Each structure stands twice: as structure tokens, then as C-alpha cells.
Chain A
Amino acid sequence: GAVVSQHPSRVICKSGTSVKIECRSLDFQATTMFWYRQFPKQSLMLMATSNEGSKATYEQGVEKDKFLINHASLTLSTLTVTSAHPEDSSFYICSAPAREGFNYGYTFGSGTRLTVV
């Protein structure tokens, strides 16, 4: 089945630094990648949608200058959290639709636990 590889799985960074999270589709081409954030005991919140070769679209309330998304190829999408602060500490997960189409489900990366100290 479709696999989305997400790295790193855990990262601890100092306040004010930037962190890059990568998601790679290993056996299919992901023209679209969705980026979610999940706080403890809460459901997934969609942050943005990245499309290969075009600008990402951000959900209301998500700062595009803080959460930089790049989808430079059909197999790689990245999320960079710039000037991270403790309130950015969360579980970040990427997701790509099945190769057969949206109706057939979405594959999630393994997630990145970001802790900003």
C-alpha cells in the first residue's frame, strides 16, 4: 500500500529557531499533501494543503509566514516551523490521498512530535 515517510519523528528545539519536517511518498506520486497539527487529547486540525509546483493554501488562522510549506516534487513536501515558540509544540502529521483518489482514503505519515523549549 501507499507509504508516506515522515521525518524527524521527534525534535526538540530552542525557542526562536526553525525546524523542518519532511514527508516523502515512497511508492506513489503525491500531488497533494495535507498538513495537520494535533494537540494532546484533541482531534486533527488541518493547517494547510500543499500542491506540487504551486503555492500552498492555508486554513484560516494559520500563519503562512510561520509555517512555510514547500512541495517541490511529486514525492516530497516539507513544513518549516519558523521562529518556533513553546506554543508551537505539537504533533504535526502529513497526509496524502490514496493513489486511487480521495474517495479511497488518505495515508498519514508517522508524525513529528515537536517540543520547543
Chain B
Amino acid sequence: QKEVEQNSGPLSVPEGAIASLNCTYSDRGSQSFFWYRQYSGKSPELIMFIYSNGDKEDGRFTAQLNKASQYVSLLIRDSQPSDSATYLCAALPRAGGTSYGKLTFGQGTILTVHP
């Protein structure tokens, strides 16, 4: 069973703090990883994707990938109340398999940024 696990949360941080969201995956062959933000009642929107080991930064967001540990994280710096949402981690299986293209989603972590 290919799984993506996220820290259960909910996570509450004060405004201006760093929010750290974590994700582990069981399929070592997974090749790309995605972080989506989903506001209540809305569909997910892509924040970042990463497929190489290391860090990838985009504005206040940094994604980190460690394939040896099968670990993906998302850091949100200077958290704002508007960042309050559910964050979904997703993994893309390796190319060539029958599941290629089908994202596996984690259960999501609810983040609340309080003023």
C-alpha cells in the first residue's frame, strides 16, 4: 500500500512565526512531491512542487525533500492568518508504472495562524 502520511495536527502558530508541515511517504520510487493548500469548501491549489533532494524556495515557502529518509516538508515563514487552511502533501509515483500520474495524497494538516 503506497501511503503518504502527514503530521496529524491541527497546527496552530502565531502570526509571524514559522509553520512547519511534515510528510513521509512509503513508495521509495516516488519521483515528485507537491504541496497543496485547501481552504474550507474550496478545491486545492498548488503551492510548490519538488523532485530533487534539498530545498526549494518560493517567497515565504520552502519545500524540503530528503529521498533517503522519504521525507518532505513545507516551511511557511512569516505566517499570516490568510495561511490558515488545510495543507495536503501528495506524491507522484515513478514513471512507467500503472499508477503513474495518479497522485497519492496525505490526509492533510490543518494549520491555524492566530493574530
Q: Are B32 and A108 in contact (CB under 8 A)?
A: no
> Total interface residues on B, using CB and 8 Å?
23
Which residues of A are in contact with B by a Cβ distance under 8 Å? Answer: 6, 32, 34, 42-44, 46, 49, 93, 97, 102-111, 113
B49 beta carbon closer than 8 Å to chain A:
yes
B102 CB contact (under 8 Å) in A42, A46, A107: A46
Determine the residue in chain B with the shortest Cβ distance to A59: B102
Per-residue 0/1 for B81-114: is the Cβ within 8 Å of any A Cβ (1 yes, 0 no)?
Answer: 0000000100010010000111101111000000
- Minimum C-beta distance from B93 to chain A (A): 9
Task: Please classify the interface of chain B as helix (H, G, I), strand (E, B), loop, or mixed, using the class held by over half of its residues.
Answer: loop
CB-CB nearest 8 A-B residue pairs: A111-B43, A108-B43, A105-B46, A103-B32, A43-B107, A43-B105, A105-B49, A93-B43
A34 and B102 CA atoms in complex are apart in Å by 8
- Minimum C-beta distance from B100 to chain A (A): 7
Q: Are A44 and B102 in contact (CB under 8 A)?
A: no
- Determine the chain A residues whose CB is within 8 A of the CB of B31 once the complex forms: 103
A32 and B92 CA atoms in complex are apart in Å by 15
Q: Are A44 and B32 in contact (CB under 8 A)?
A: no
- Determine the chain B residues whose CB is within 8 A of the CB of A109 once the complex forms: 43
